[in-house]
């Protein structure tokens, strides 16, 4: 188990971030609580840590932002066995309870989008609005990503080697990070601050290997925005539309020229889309 002490979150605006540590079913869960306003829970993608949210934090004004590291990632403890997507959904709900939040908007990014879908189904009273960014329905996704691109996710090496990340970003992630060397360098640094434990990364892959939301998408009744870039090699626009088509109250927002890391390499643009959705009055 990693050292369960509240840590300095390098790269985040320390004066405005409240770190927290909470127990959950034998794990120590590291997280942050940032800003004031209506709460929004951010759920990171495969292997990511809370430090990676730094570009987006300032692009969601008037929001209290809560985020956490999944077991085996960031500064959370290392599990012995895989933590499944339904268990991660329980963890996300427990994080809100720990922060004394009854209901929050929930944003799930990539693998975190699977957790967010599951949370909306398992803990519907805790989810006000749902944002699913660069994510799919899991098993049964049509069309699937290029197998060669998906295979790159089998290893966490891109978290450990900044050179490898910069060399593969265009192929794996596309969009702005693929076009702009300065953006690649900035994101490669944030990814390497607290990389996932190799075994923790493997367990996270295993925990989501057979997950699918196809059987319950129609039961998600929260207003939902599905956000996707049209240059995302991992999540084709048609795959994002498949998720939206299954959720009764949902819209698809396609950002032209954006890739898989649209929340992190184009935070102002994606933050504006998210803000417009969250601030929209009910129909």
- CB 168 within 8 Å of CB 254: no
268: Cα within 13 Å, side-chain hemisphere: 1
Q: Which structural domains are found in the chain, ordered by start?
A: 14-145+196-279 (3.40.50.1820)
Query: In Å, what is the CA distance from 243 to each residue of 40, 78, 114, 251?
Result: 21, 31, 10, 10
What pLDDT was estimated at residue 237?
98
What pLDDT was estimated at residue 1?
38
What pLDDT was estimated at residue 11?
57
Given 49, 76, 77, 110, the catalytic residue: 110
Q: What is the value of pTM for the model shown?
A: 0.94
- What tens-digit pLDDT sequence spans the chain (283 residues)? 344 444 455 556 655 789 999 999 999 999 999 999 999 999 999 999 999 999 999 999 999 999 999 999 999 999 999 999 999 999 999 999 999 999 999 999 999 999 999 999 999 999 999 999 999 999 999 999 999 899 999 999 999 999 999 999 999 999 999 999 999 999 999 998 999 999 999 999 999 999 999 999 999 999 999 999 999 999 999 999 999 999 999 999 999 999 999 999 999 999 999 999 999 876 6
In the residue annotation, 250 being an active-site residue is answered as: no
Distance CA 206, CA 146 (A): 20
Query: In Å, what is the CA distance from 239 to each residue of 109, 136, 236?
Result: 15, 6, 5
What pLDDT was estimated at residue 281?
77
Distance CA 273, CA 131 (A): 10
């Amino acid at each position: 188990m990693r050292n369960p002490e509240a840590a300095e979150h390098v790269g985040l605006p320390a004066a405005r971030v409240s770190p927290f540590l909470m127990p959950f079913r034998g794990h120590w869960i590291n997280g942050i609580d940032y800003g004031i306003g209506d709460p929004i829970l951010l759920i990171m993608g495969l292997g990511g840590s809370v430090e990676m949210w730094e570009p987006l934090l300032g692009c969601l004004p008037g929001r209290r932002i809560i985020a956490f590291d999944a077991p085996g990632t960031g500064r959370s403890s290392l599990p012995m066995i895989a933590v499944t997507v339904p268990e991660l959904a329980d963890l996300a709900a427990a994080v809100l309870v720990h922060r004394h939040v009854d209901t929050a908007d929930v944003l799930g990014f990539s693998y975190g989008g699977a957790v967010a879908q599951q949370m909306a189904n398992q803990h519907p009273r805790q989810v006000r609005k749902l944002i699913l960014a660069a994510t799919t329905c899991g098993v049964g996704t049509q069309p699937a990503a290029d197998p060669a691109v998906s295979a790159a996710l089998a290893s966490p090496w891109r978290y450990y080697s900044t050179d490898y990340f910069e060399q593969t970003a265009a192929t794996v992630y596309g969009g702005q990070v693929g076009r702009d060397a300065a953006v690649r360098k900035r994101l490669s640094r944030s990814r390497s601050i607290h990389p996932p434990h190799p075994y923790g990364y493997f367990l996270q892959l295993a925990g989501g290997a057979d997950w699918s939301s196809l059987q319950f998408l129609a039961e998600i009744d929260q207003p939902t925005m599905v956000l996707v870039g049209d240059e995302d090699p991992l999540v084709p626009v048609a795959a994002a539309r498949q998720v939206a088509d299954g959720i009764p109250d949902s819209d698809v927002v396609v950002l032209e020229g954006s890739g898989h890391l649209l929340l992190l390499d184009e935070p102002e643009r994606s933050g504006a889309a998210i803000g417009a959705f969250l601030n929209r009055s009910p129909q």
